[in-house]
Structure 1
Amino acid sequence: MKSTSFGHRLLALVLISALYATAIPASGKNYDNGTAEALSESQKILHVLNRLGFGPKPGDLERVRRIGVDRYIESQLDPEKIEDREVLAMLSRIEVSKMSTSEIFAKYPNPGALLQMLGARNMVRPDSENGEQSEMRAQRRQTLAKLYREYGFRPANQIMFEVETERILRAAYSERQLEEVMVDFWANHFNVFSGKAATRWYIPSYERDVLRKHALGNFKDLVLETARHPAMLFYLDNFQSVAEAEPRNRNRLQRAMRGGSLDPRVRERLKRRGLTDEQIDRRVQQATASSRRGINENYARELMELHTLGVDGGYTQEDIREVARAFTGWTIFDARGYRKAAQKVRGGGTDRRIEQQARRLGIDPNTESGTFVFASQLHDKGSKAVLGQRVDEGGIKDGEKVIDILVSHPSTSRFIARKLAVKFVNDKPSDALVNRVAEAFRDSKGDIKTTLRALFNDKEFFAPQNYKAKIKTPFELVVSSLRAVDAKTAGSRQLNGLLRRMGEPLYGYQAPTGYPDTAEDWVNTGALLERMNFAIALASGRIPGIRIDLDRFAGDTKEFILERSVEAILSGEIEDSTRTVLLKQMDQSLPEVSLASGNESMMSAPGASMDRGGERRRQRGGQFRVEPKGDPDVFKAVGLIIGSPEFQRQ
C-alpha cells in the first residue's frame, strides 16, 4: 500500500513538473501567447470573462458575443440592474449573512464568554500536572457541550463555514461577477483575520454591510465604513485605543496605587465597606490594566500603509502617532459578546459589568452587543497635525477629517490605481497605465466605477501580452473550476477544506496585508500539487456535496475525449507541449485523493445539514477517501485540463 501511495505521489509530482516547468511566466510582460497580433473577438470575450469575473460557464461566451463586449462591461459596472434570483435562492439556507452581530453573539456564543460567566475559564491552572490539565479541559468541554444542547446554541466555528460558503456560491453562480471580484479584492485590501479572538463574529456584517455594499461605490465610503466597523476595530486593536490619561483624570483606585500595589490604608477602608480581599484584588487588576491602556498605533499605521497612501506614501512616524490620536475613542460596546452569551443562560436580567461599561462609555446600557460607539471621554481632545494639515474638528470628526486628508492625497490615487492594475492587467503594470487610472480615480473623487471603467477602456487592458498573463489564486481556481464544469453545490465542508489546503482560507490571512495577487506568491511545487489534487477530486466526483455531470465530454477514444474537453473548458486554446503531456497521462493512473472530514474547518454543528457524496473509506488522521464516479477517461481528461497551466492562467 505504501509503495502504491508513493508511486501515485511521485506520478503527481512528475505531472506537475511537466506541466509547469516552462509554462508559467514570471510576469505578464513576458508572455505573449505566441503572437503579437491583436486579440480576436473571442479572445476579448474570454479575457473579460476571466478578469471581470471568475471565468466562463457553459453558454457565457455566446451570450457575451450576442450583446457585445462593451455592453457586457457596462452591465457589470451596474450590478443593481442585474437579476440574481437564482443565487439569492441558494443563499436562503445560510443564516449568518442575514443576522446582526448581536444575534450571532446570541446564537453562536463566544465559548470564552460562557466559561467566564460560569467562573470556569480558569479551570486549567498553569501549575497543574499534565494529567490534571487534561481532566480539567475535558470538564470544560463537557460543561460547554451541556450548555449548547440545553439552550440550542450553535458552535462558533460554523460562522466562518457559512461565510466561506456564501462567498463561494456567490462567486460561482451570481450574474454580478464583477461585484464578486471586487468583494474579493476589497476583502484582501481591507483584510481582517477571523482567527483573532472575537473577530469572526463581526465578519458576516463586515462583508455584507461594508465590502459588498460599497464594492463599486466610493472609496472614501469604504475607508470610513471599514474604520468604523467592529471587525476592523477589533482586528487592529483600535477599540482599545484611548487618550493617555493625565493624573487628575485617573480614578480613585488608580491614584491610590503605589509601585503597582494598593495603599494598605485604602485596602482597609474598602474592607470596612464590605469588600473581600479577593474582590479588592480583582479591582486592583482592572485598575492596573486600565492605567496601562493608551494610544494604539496599529490601525493608524495600516490605514496609511495598506489602505490609502501605500508604504512609500510620504508619511512619517509622527503622522502615524497623530492619526492614532485622531481615532481614539472609536470603540465597541461589549466587544466579545459577553452579555448576549449570558442573557439566555441566566434567563434575562442585567449584567453589572456591562452596565459599568455602558456608564464608562457614556451610552445607553441597552445598546446592542458588538456595536460601534464613539466615546468622547476616551478621545484625545488636543489638536493634531497630519501630513502638514491641522486636524482640530473635535470628537469623531477628527477621524473623519483624517480620512478626508488621506483619501484625497495623490499617493492614494496612485496606490489604488496600481493595485487595481495588478489585479486586472498584469503583475507588473506600466507606470503610464497606473498614472492614467490614478487620474480617473482622482478626477472622480474616488468613484470606483469610474476608475474601473477607465482601466477596462485603456489600451493596455486588451493588449496581447496581457492575455492570460495572470495566475489564478486558489479561490479563483476553485470558483472558475466549478463554473467551467457547471458543478452544482449548496456548500461543501470538504471544498472549503481543499481551499484551505491550497493556502487561501477566506479571512484566514493573519497579516493585515491580505492575500497576495501575483504569480510568485502562488507558484511553488507544494501549492501546485494541492491544485492538482483539487482538480482530480472535483473531476472524479469525490468532493461530497458537489454534483458534477461530465456526460457532455464523453467519446469513443481518449483523444476525442481530450479534444472535446479542451474545446469546452479552454475554448480550444492549448499549447502543443501541454497536449502531448495530457495525452501521455491519459494512459496513466492518477493519484488517489484524500479529503479531510470537514472538522478541520468547523466543529460538528447540531442540526447542520450534512454533505452527501459517494462511498467513503475512512483513513487515519481524520481523512477519508471517496471512490471516483463516472467514466475514468472522462474525469481523467477533465481533471488534467483543470490542473493544466492553460487553465491556471487567466
Structure 2
Amino acid sequence: MSLSPAEATRARIALQRFGLGPKPGVLERIGVDPAAALKAELDEPGVALIDDPELPTRKAAARLSQKSFEAAETIRLLELKARLKKHLRAEIGFVERLVVFWSNHFSMSINKDQTIRGTIGQLERDVIRKHVLGKFADMQRGVMQHPGMLRYLDNEESMGPKSEIGIAWGRGVNENLARELLELHTLGAGGGYSETDVTSMALLISGWSYVRGWEVGQDWADVPDGMSGQFYFRPKWHEPGPIAFMGKTYPAGGIEQGEQALLDISRNPATAQHIAFKLVRHFITDEPTPEMVDPVAAAFRDSDGDLKATTLALIALPAAWSAPFAKLRTPYELAVAQFRALGTLYVRDNMWAFTEPLRAMNNLPWERPAPDGYSDETYAWLDPDGMTIRLDTAMLAVDVFAEEFSGKPLNLGRALYGAALSRDTESALTWLTEKRIGLTVLFMSPEFQRR
C-alpha cells in the first residue's frame, strides 16, 4: 500500500534530513516507521567501518605519505573512493552523515602538507568511523594524537620552554592546536576558558609529536626504529612540573597530563552544549533553540559523551520531524544525493564527475583551508554563482549517468519521494519527456535541493 503524504514526508525526513538522500524504492520500505529505521541503522554491527584491503594501515599510510607527494595523493584518492562507495551502498546513510559531520568537526586541509594528504582518509577511517557511535573522548584523543592533526596545527615541534630541549634550543610552545581544541573541538567560543588556559593547554600537550621520516636512523633524534610517521611523545620536549588549567592543577608528569586534561574537557558542560548546538544546526535548522539543544546536551553529558546516546536524543526531538525543509544541501551532500538517486554503485577511478563540481563550489572533502570546517548553514551556499554552479553540477551528473538511466524522470521522482513529491515538480516532470532535461529539473527541485 502506498504511503500517505504525511507518511511519505516523515520518510523523506529520515532519508534527506538525516540520511544521504533517497534511493529508488527506499522511501516505501522505511515509510511505516522511519524513526525506527534510523535507530536500526545505528544498531547495525560495524555499520560505520570500511573493510577494504586496498587501503593502507595507519602505519603504512604515515610512512608512505612522507616519501613523496605522489604516494600521498594516491592514498588520498583511494580513501576518497572508498568513502564514496560506502556512501552509495548505505540504504539511508545516517551513520555516513555522522561520519562526515565529525570529520568536518575535526577539520584539516590536505593542502598544507603531504603527511596530512596521505593520512587524513586513514584518520577518518580508523578514528572517526571507529568512534562515531562510541565515546567522544576516545575520538578526540585519537584525533589529537594523529600525525595529521599534529602537523596541521603545528604541534609536532611544540616544546615546553622549561623542558630540557626547550632550554637547550631556546624554543617554546606553539598554541595553535590548543586554541582550536578549546574553541572549535570542545568548549566553544565563550566556553569559560581564558588566554592563560590556552597557553596551559599547549604546555600540557607539549612534546606530543610524530616521527618525521628524516629523523629515522639519526642518533641525535632519539626516536624508536620503525616509527616513521607515528605518534611519538617526546619527554625531553614536555614542560616539567605541575600545570594549572581551568581551575585544576595537573601534577607533574608526562603524556598523562595532557590526556587527563583532554578527558576533563570532554566532560565539561560547555563541551556538551557546543556539540549539541552543532548537531542540531547541522541536521535540523540554522537557528537552534534551547528547547532543541538542551535535551541533546543533556544526553551527551549524562552518558559521559556517548555519541550514540547523543544521536538518539537528536532524532527524538519533536523539531527533528516537524521543522520545515529549510536547510540547503551543501554541494557535497548534493553530489552524493545525485549519485544515489540514479542508483549507481559504480565509482569511476578518476572520480572526475564527482570532484570537479565540488572544486568549483569550494566544497571538496578535506580541503577547507581554515580549521573551522565547511559551513553547513544555508547562507554559505545560497548565492547567484552558487546556484548557477548547482545547475551545472546537476547537468554534469545527468550527462555522466544518463546513458545508464533507462527510466523516465517522472517515475524516478515518484520512486524517490512518493507522495512527498510536490505537485509543481510532478507537473513539470510530466511535461518534460526529454530525459536529460527532466532529470536536471528533478535535481534542481526544492525536494532535492533542501533538507
User: Normalized against structure 1, the TM-score is what?
Assistant: 0.64
- 3-state SS of the aligned residue for 1:373? strand
Instruction: For residue 204 of structure 1, report the CA deviation from its aligned partner.
Output: 2.8
- Paired position in structure 2 for 1:566: 413
- 3-state SS of the aligned residue for 1:460? helix
Distance 1:60 1:248, change over 3 A: closer
Q: Which amino acid aligns with 1:76?
A: E
- Paired position in structure 2 for 1:172: 88
- 3-state SS of the aligned residue for 1:535? helix
How do residues 282-361 of structure 1 correspond to structure 2 at under 5 angstroms?
291=169, 293-334=171-212, 337-338=213-214, 352=217, 354-357=218-221, 359=222
- Paired position in structure 2 for 1:433: 292
How do residues 62-461 of structure 1 correspond to structure 2 at under 5 angstroms?
62-65=28-31, 68-80=33-45, 95=54, 97-102=55-60, 105-106=63-64, 109-110=67-68, 155-175=71-91, 177-197=93-113, 198-245=115-162, 250-251=167-168, 291=169, 293-334=171-212, 337-338=213-214, 352=217, 354-357=218-221, 359=222, 363-364=223-224, 366-392=225-251, 394-461=253-320
The C-alpha deviation readout for 1:36-79, integer Å capped at 9, x for no partner, is xx98222111111112310111121122136x324312212223
1:495 aligns with 2:412: no
Instruction: For residue 577 of structure 1, report the CA deviation from its aligned partner.
Output: 5.8
Instruction: For residue 493 of structure 1, report the CA deviation from its aligned partner.
Output: 2.7
Distance 1:577 1:248 in 2: 69
Given that 1:54 and 1:479 are in contact with CA atoms closer than 8 Å, whether structure 2 keeps it comes out as: yes
Distance 1:494 1:355 in 2: 49
Given that 1:192 and 1:507 are in contact with CA atoms closer than 8 Å, whether structure 2 keeps it comes out as: yes
Gaps of 5+ in 2: none
The C-alpha deviation readout for 1:404-435, integer Å capped at 9, x for no partner, is 22111111111111111112211111111111
Distance 1:537 1:249 in 2: 55
**Which among 397, 400, 406 is matched to residue 551 of structure 1?**
406
Q: Which amino acid aligns with 2:292?
A: L
Distance 1:45 1:582, change over 3 A: closer
The aligned length equals 445
**Which among 604, 629, 641 is matched to residue 442 of structure 2?**
641
Given that 2:80 and 2:121 are in contact with CA atoms closer than 8 Å, whether structure 1 keeps it comes out as: no
Distance 1:201 1:309 in 2: 29
Distance 1:248 1:469 in 2: 54
Q: Which amino acid aligns with 1:75?
A: A
User: Normalized against structure 2, the TM-score is what?
Assistant: 0.91
Identity of aligned residues (%): 31
Name which one, 1 or 2, has greater alpha-carbon Rg: 1
Distance 1:230 1:213, change over 3 A: same
The C-alpha deviation readout for 1:593-634, integer Å capped at 9, x for no partner, is xxxxxxxxxxxxxxxxxxxxxxxxxxxxxxxxxxxxxxx801
Distance 2:140 2:332 in 1: 24
Instruction: For residue 477 of structure 1, report the CA deviation from its aligned partner.
Output: 0.5
- Quote the RMSD (CA, aligned, Å): 2.7
Gaps of 5+ in 1: 1-37, 112-153, 252-290, 340-350, 554-560, 587-631
Distance 1:386 1:172, change over 3 A: same
Runs of 4+ in 1 over 6 A off after TM superposition: 246-249, 579-584
Distance 2:265 2:163 in 1: 30
The C-alpha deviation readout for 1:207-243, integer Å capped at 9, x for no partner, is 1111111111111111111111111111001111101
Distance 2:388 2:237 in 1: 51
Distance 1:454 1:39 in 2: 26
Distance 1:638 1:106 in 2: 42
